Amino acid sequence: MREPVSERVTITRDHFLYRRIASFEMEMRDGQPYVFSSAFRRDPDEAGLSVYVEGIETAEQARDHGQPYHGVARLSASVPLDNNMPVIHQPLADAHGHAEIMEVNGDGRKRKLARACSVPILPTAMPVDSKLKVVDLDD
Amino acid sequence: MVAAPIRPEPTTTQIRYNQVDDFQAFRTSRPKRVSFGTSGTEIHWNATNYPPLKKQFMVFATDNIKREFGALVTTFTAERMSSVTTRLNERHTEVVAQLSSPALRRLTKIAALEANWDSEGAESPAALAIARAGLLIQLVNENLASSGKSIHPPDTSAPLHNGGIQLEWWSSALDIETYIEPNGSVRCLFANKLPDGAEDYDETGDLGISDAASEIADRLSAE
């Protein structure tokens, strides 16, 4: 059920959050998606880490704020909230479910968030035309 | 009968250290070819990236490393390039075997990423970060070998948004994340696995690359 978006929602431990990820920000480990802590890096010019609130947005909508080949990681809001990382609902005009995880400082916190993720939408390879030739030494 | 052309044999004594200014150019130029291995890392720059030199590559040799630059810079003329590459191939049969490792292949692909690889403004991996990653892999394996342990290349890797490289080593009791920044600085996170599935973290500040390699090897050796 979609929550009303005219007001900010208080994010609680019962909420789930979506984080958009690129193909090189995860891989499969023992048959399970493994999200790298690098997927939770914070841009220096941003105060918090952008996520989307499940229930206000779907995983597909969260992905569609980026590129079609992006994936989506999902984690319980209890993880940041229980580890001194507030989660603030910051709705945007085109992203009502936008929120930010604050205080994502230090490598340990990034890893803790990454280790708590499932991946409901796997990323696909970004279509690129790399000019860089990657070869074995035998070539 | 036409005499075979005389090919001068390249030697390691022809290696010269790069000027600091030249090395700064390497840090921002895009490599043309990257190959990773346990015994060394080879990165080729196109002549157009750095016009003063015909051909140019950085080689991490097991027996001779200038750690303050993180690499040796060698210049060869085009006629010597093919014979040098052949000699590297002959010496690095172990490297070829290691290149079949999915983890090292992944690292090679990461080194080849273009800017904006995540569609959100990510930098392409910096040449210095790539070079330091290769050096760290080599030093960790040297440390392990010197203590009688089996070598342990990183189990996986990831690009950082800012142009750095993340290397990870996995074991039954410990995961190690190593962050190599675009400026070459290195720091580690040691995730000790607890019986209940949780993790306990030890984080380092910036480390010298030799100290980082020593710490990583020590932790892996303790398994």
**Mean pLDDT value across chain B:** 64
**Chain B residues within 8 A of A115 when measuring between CB atoms:** 199
**Chain B residues within 8 A of A133 when measuring between CB atoms:** 32-33
Contacts 24+ apart (CB under 8 A), B185-191: B186/B132, B186/B136, B186/B212, B187/A107, B187/B212, B188/B212, B188/B215, B188/B216, B189/A37, B189/A107, B189/A108, B189/A111, B190/B219, B191/A111
When pLDDT is averaged across residues B1-10 and rounded to a whole number, the result is 36
Q: Residue A126's pLDDT band (boundaries 50, 70, 90)?
A: low
When pLDDT is averaged across residues B58-71 and rounded to a whole number, the result is 30
Task: Output the pLDDT for position B191.
Answer: 97
Phi, psi at B179, each rounded to 5°: -110, 120
Task: Output the pLDDT for position A133.
Answer: 34
Cβ neighbors of B107 (< 8 A, separation 6 or more) are B36, B133, B154, B157, B165, B167
To the nearest 10°, report the CA torsion of B43, A130, B165, B218.
-60
Give me the amino acid identity at B34. V
d(CA A48, CA A99): 9
Please give the span between the terminal C-alpha atoms of chain A, in angstroms, as a whole number.
57
How large a percentage of chain B has pLDDT more than 90? 28
Task: Output the pLDDT for position A12.
Answer: 97
A138 reaches B (C-beta below 8 A): yes
Beta bridge partners of A57: A54
> Which range among A90-99, A130-139, B14-23, B199-208 shows the weakest confidence by mean pLDDT?
B14-23
Name the region of A30 (left: φ>0; alpha: ψ -120 to 50; beta: rest).
left
Task: Output the pLDDT for position B186.
Answer: 95
Report ipTM for this prediction: 0.85
When pLDDT is averaged across residues A102-110 and rounded to a whole number, the result is 94
Cα B197–chain centre separation: 32
Using DSSP's 3-state secondary structure scheme, residue B189 falls into strand
Task: Output the pLDDT for position B70.
Answer: 29
When pLDDT is averaged across residues B100-125 and rounded to a whole number, the result is 78
Q: Residue A5's pLDDT band (boundaries 50, 70, 90)?
A: low
d(CA B168, CA A26): 12
- Residue A122, pLDDT above cutoff 80: yes
Choose from A12-26, B4-18, B42-56 the range with maximum mean pLDDT: A12-26
B27 or B11: whose pLDDT is higher?
A: B27
**Chain A residues within 8 A of B156 when measuring between CB atoms:** 27, 29, 34
Q: Do B33 and A133 make contact, defined as CB atoms within 8 angstroms?
A: yes
When pLDDT is averaged across residues A12-32 and rounded to a whole number, the result is 94
Task: Output the pLDDT for position B111.
Answer: 76
Pairing of strands B33-36, A71-76: unpaired
B43: closest CA among B28, B55, B59, B29? B59
Q: Residue B105's pLDDT band (boundaries 50, 70, 90)?
A: low
Task: Output the pLDDT for position A6.
Answer: 59
A128 reaches B (C-beta below 8 A): yes
Angle ∠(A75,A78,A80) on CA atoms, nearest 5: 80
Tell me which residues of chain A, numbers 57 to 116, contact chain B at a CB-CB cutoff of 8 Å: 66-67, 69-70, 106-108, 111-112, 115
Q: Do B203 and A41 make contact, defined as CB atoms within 8 angstroms?
A: no
pTM for the complete prediction?
0.72
When pLDDT is averaged across residues A63-89 and rounded to a whole number, the result is 96
Angle ∠(A31,A115,B173) on CA atoms, nearest 5: 80
Pairing of strands B33-36, A133-134: parallel
DSSP A107: H
d(CA B117, CA A126): 7
